[in-house]
Amino acid sequence: MNKRIWWILILSVILIQSKLFAGGFDYGITTYEQVDDILIVNSLGDSTAVSTYGKLGTNDWIPENSVKNYLGLEGYTQANDFNPSITNSQFVNNYNIKPNEDYTKLQFAGLLGNPRELQDVYVLTKEYNRLNSEQQAVRMDNIDTSINNETINRINGNNSLQTNVNNVNTNSQNRDTTLQNNINNEALIRFNDDSLLNDKINTNNNKQTEWNQRQDSQIQNHENRIKKLEQTQYNVEGVLRVLDTKRTTWELYDTYNTRNNKMIAIGARITIKLGKSYTDRKIEELEKRIQAIEQ
């Protein structure tokens, strides 16, 4: 039970034990009017009529009044007094309200103002679970447990996340290392291939240069030769007459080019005589003159 209720009950008992009236009286019945003007400390007034506190049940005696005030202050909206031991017709209808399963039992000392009797009061379970300090303590413990569990879960989750991050970093570093090695190997292969290609290009360039030079040289040589051919040619020709007849002349010849310093032609030549040459005509003329002289 809540510590506040215990303090209220203790104060109530002290008040009851310190009552000014030393004589005997009936709890729940006797009032201070019946015993002269002496105050009965456990009674709330000079009337034995039942007092109620809204839906919180009866509110007649100091201990009960303290409890019902507490319930009202704590926020309870409904309470039932269920005490079958009460047979007094004045209170039986108020103290025997049987609760159902939706209620939770509370007990406190001071039934009908008697500190030796326990009174049972039933409050709504849903309100008890929400407002009772013990339940609040349980909820706080549960909250603390939940917080601790959540903290542990968060720590474990963070550790797991950090482990995953570390694994990812390690894997990334390994992949980066592998990638860098592949890049380095590829770069080396490319460098070697480029060097080989460059060597081949240089070789081809050198060959092309040599070929171009040869071509240029040949072109220049051809140009020089063509120029020489286009110039006036000076030839020395030797002719060997092999046979000379009335109608033909058979000759062998060679031709030497003085500009090129080389023999440019060797051949045979046949001359066919279709008409009379100057020599032939002179000879005939001389023969006629000789014949005339002879005659």
Alpha carbon distance 106, 129 (integer Å) = 12
Q: Quote the CA–CA distance of 190 and 198 in Å, as a whole number.
A: 12
- Give me the mean pLDDT over the 223-238 stretch: 76
What is the tens place of the pLDDT at every residue in 146-158? 788 878 888 887 8
Q: What is the pLDDT of residue 39?
A: 47
| C-alpha pair distances (Å), 161 with each of 6, 130, 156 | 51, 38, 8
Tokens of 266: 């060797």
Contact criterion met (CB below 8 Å) for 125 and 104:
yes
Task: For residue 120, count CB atoms less than 10 angstroms from its CB and return exposed for 0-12, middle for 13-18, buried for 19 or more.
Answer: middle
Burial class (CB in 10 A: 0-12, 13-18, 19+), 232: exposed
Instruction: Say whether 45 sits in a helix, a strand or coil.
Output: coil
Query: pLDDT tens for residues 55-77?
Result: 888 777 777 777 888 888 888 88
Quickly tell me which residue has 């009552």 as its tokens.
19
> What gap in Å lies between CA 207 and CA 140, rounded to an integer?
95
**pLDDT beyond 60 at 224:** yes
Is residue 20 within 8 A of residue 38, CB to CB? The reply is yes
Instruction: Report residue 94 as tokens.
Output: 């108020």
Burial grade of 135 (CB within 10 A; 0-12, 13-18, 19 or more) = middle
Helices marked H in the chain: 3-17, 62-74, 92-95, 125-131, 133-230, 278-294
Cβ-contact 260, 221 below 8 angstroms: no
In this structure, the chain runs to a length of 295
The burial class, CB within 10 Å (0-12 / 13-18 / 19+), for 290 is: exposed
Q: Which two tokens stand for residue 141?
A: 């413990």
pLDDT digit string (tens) for 148-205? 887 888 888 788 888 888 887 888 888 888 888 888 888 888 888 888 888 888 888 8
Q: pLDDT tens digits, residue range 235-265?
A: 788 888 888 887 888 888 888 877 777 887 8
pLDDT digits (tens, 9 = 90+) for 2-27: 556 655 655 555 555 444 444 555 65
Burial bucket for residue 103 (CB in 10 Å: 0-12, 13-18, 19+): buried
Nearest to 81 by CA among 107, 61, 101, 63: 107
Q: Which amino acid is at 87?
A: T
